[in-house]
Amino acid sequence: MKRWIWLPVIILTAFTAGAAAQVPAAPMPSAPAPAGQSPASVPTSVGPAKIAVIAFQVAVTKSNEFQRAFADLQTKFQPKRDALKTLNDQIDSLTKELQATDSKLTDAEKAAKARQLDEKKKQFDRDQEDDQNDFSQQMQELFQATGAKIYDVLSTYAQQHGYTLVLDVANSQQNPVMYALPTMDITNEVIAAYNTKSGVPAPAAAPRAPGAQTPRAPAAKPGTKPPPK
C-alpha cells in the first residue's frame, strides 16, 4: 500500500490565519495619538467614510519578495523530500516482497524483512513529522516577516489615498465581507507598491518540480468577492 508522503501544500489557512492575526491592526480614526507623537499629526476630524478591501494573505504571498523567499525555501527542503521519497520506495518494495504469494523466502528471512520494514516505517514517520514541523515553522516566520512589512505599505497607501477603513476579505471570520465593488479592492495596488519599495524583481518563471506547490490564498467564502488574479 502506497504510504503518503507529506509535501508542503501551501494553502495559507491554518498558520497564516494566526500569522496574519499577529500583524498589527490599523487603528480606528478616533484612536488617541501614540506617545511621543505630535497631536498636530493626528486628524482631528474625519470626513465621509472611504472604505477599501484587501485580500491580505494574497497580497503577502503574491509579493515578489515572498515568492523569491518561498522558492528558496522549497529548494532548501527538496533534499529532505527526495530522501523521504527514497525511503517510501524502499518501504513499498519490502511490502511487496512480503506480500508476494510466490515468495521463496524462508520464515527467518520473512521475519528479518518484517523487522526491517517496521524500522523503515518508524523512521519515515519521524522524518516526515520533523520535515513538516520545520517547514511549517519557517513558512510561518516568512509570512509574518513579509506581512508586517506589507502592512506598513498598506497603512501608508491608505493614508495617502484617504481611506478611513480597510477590510481584509481574505479573513472572512474576522471581517465577514459578503460583497464589495471591484473598484474598492486595493490588493493589486498594495502588491505593486510593496514590490516597488522592496526592489525585488518578479521571479523568473521556472519549471515546477514534481510535487511542488505554489502558495495561494484560502478559498473565498460563498458570496465573497474573489481576490484579484
93 occurs within a structural domain:
yes
214 belongs to a structural domain: no
Of 22-36, 48-62, 101-115, 169-183, least confident by mean pLDDT is 22-36
Residue 147: per-residue pLDDT:
96
Q: Is residue 2 in a domain?
A: no
Q: How far is CA 93 from the centre of its chain?
A: 35
19 CA to centre of own chain = 9
Asked whether residue 154 is domain-assigned, the answer is yes
pLDDT tens, residue by residue, 43-56:
545 568 899 999 99
Pull the grid cell for residue 152.
506598513
Q: Which of 48-57, 102-111, 218-227 has the highest mean pLDDT?
A: 48-57
Q: Cell numbers of 76, please? A: 532548501
What digits encode the pLDDT tens for the residues 142-191?
A: 999 999 999 999 999 999 999 999 999 987 666 678 888 999 999 999 99
11 part of a folded domain: no
Is 165 a domain residue?
yes
Phi, psi of 168 (to 5 degrees): -95, 105
Statement: residue 9 has pLDDT above 50: no
Neighbouring CB atoms inside 10 A of 32's CB total 9
Residue 55: domain span: 48-198
Within-domain flag for 29: no
The CATH number of whichever domain residue 133 belongs to comes to 3.30.910.20
170: which 3 cell numbers? 481574505
CA distance 18 to 65: 21
| DSSP assignment string, 30-51 | TPPPPTT--GGGS-S---S--E
Quote the CA–CA distance of 129 and 140 in Å, as a whole number: 16
Rounded Cα distance between 33 and 102, Å, is: 81
Task: Decide if 21 is inside a domain.
Answer: no
pLDDT for residue 178: 83
d(CA 97, CA 93) in angstroms, rounded, equals 6
The number of distinct structural domains making up the chain is 1
- List the single range of 107-111, 121-125, 126-130 with lowest mean pLDDT: 107-111
